[in-house]
Structure 1
């Protein structure tokens, strides 16, 4: 699956593709980056090459309840990030979105927005889903703004949901419905 999107805030086109072996080194770097861990899942654990290779192998296998994709710039093989549509529940026509732009020098350029727009289009148009949720740590305003810019609505707060740095951190819950997406003229 290759989806393209451009955004006025970005300098290039983002493509979503299945993972390949080219994802291994970037994933290893990003999964072991303290700042990325802190902003995405609040964790601080170290990941071995073997563990990341096993994770990547799992991500490359087709699944009915999760879609893992590499976020790449057009014309480049190495990903700049990754995303997933997880917990796909066909009976309820819903899923959960997760995204990481791993190349920190590309943060704030609209690539996450582009990737989310493509993923949402895939979830609604190809998978036939009606609802997408996403959670972000309350102290990650960049991700919250990115979701809001893509049309997600803040629905609530999971209070003290994550344990990090010896304290509890809230998670913000966002949702997007198919009819809201279509109402945006997308």
Structure 2
């Protein structure tokens, strides 16, 4: 976002910050982790260090239609995951959220929830958006609970939407509107 860059956001524990070269090694690990690949929309294959470096370089460049952020913990240089607000459409005041907490030993500690809450606040309060969507695989209840815990509402199911591991998988569609977010914060 050239006109309104995402400044580091923090709640004292979890911080969203721009990617730096320190993101490379963790991203190489996460992009090549089969369990993480199965839960995200990445294709299941091996990513070379060069491919991940090219992705990171793209994520570090300012963009009008996507904000890529590292999820960090206060006092820890290496990120624990990544998050994006993508497909930002100013005319329709909407975007799509995606998140991966890559450090599996930190799953279930609420860090993903805190990161989503910060990103949603940024999307509504700073970017002036009115709607955020997210999709999760139907067989990923952890991600569904994460979104629901942050106030997202399941709006539908795209049946047999993705081909993964030789089988068709549903995608659950979630949405959050600014007025729902504002009401939940009062």
C-alpha contact 1:93 1:131 (8 A) present in aligned 2: yes
Give TM-score, length-normalised by structure 1: 0.95
Runs of 4+ in 1 over 4 A off after TM superposition: none
Structure 1 residues not aligned, in runs of 5+: 7-12
CA distance in 2, matches of 1:185, 1:83: 22
- Identify which range, 39-48 or 97-106, moves more after superposition: 39-48
* Paired residues for 1:78-89 under 5 Å: 78-89=78-89
Give TM-score, length-normalised by structure 2: 0.95
> Do residues 2 (structure 1) and 8 (structure 2) align?
yes
CA distance in 1, matches of 2:185, 2:148: 16
Residue 57 of structure 1: aligned partner? 57
Residue 9 of structure 1: aligned partner? none
* Paired residues for 1:1-186 under 5 Å: 1-5=7-11, 13-41=13-41, 43-185=43-185
CA distance in 2, matches of 1:123, 1:88: 9
CA distance in 2, matches of 1:41, 1:72: 22
CA distance in 1, matches of 2:102, 2:179: 31
For these two proteins, the number of residue pairs brought into alignment is: 180
- 1:34-85: CA deviation from partner (whole Å, max 9, x where unpaired): 0000011263111000000000000000000000000000111100000000
Structure 2 residues not aligned, in runs of 5+: 1-6
SS across alignment from 2:185:
coil
Tell me how large the CA RMSD over aligned residues is.
Answer: 0.9
C-alpha contact 1:42 1:162 (8 A) present in aligned 2: no
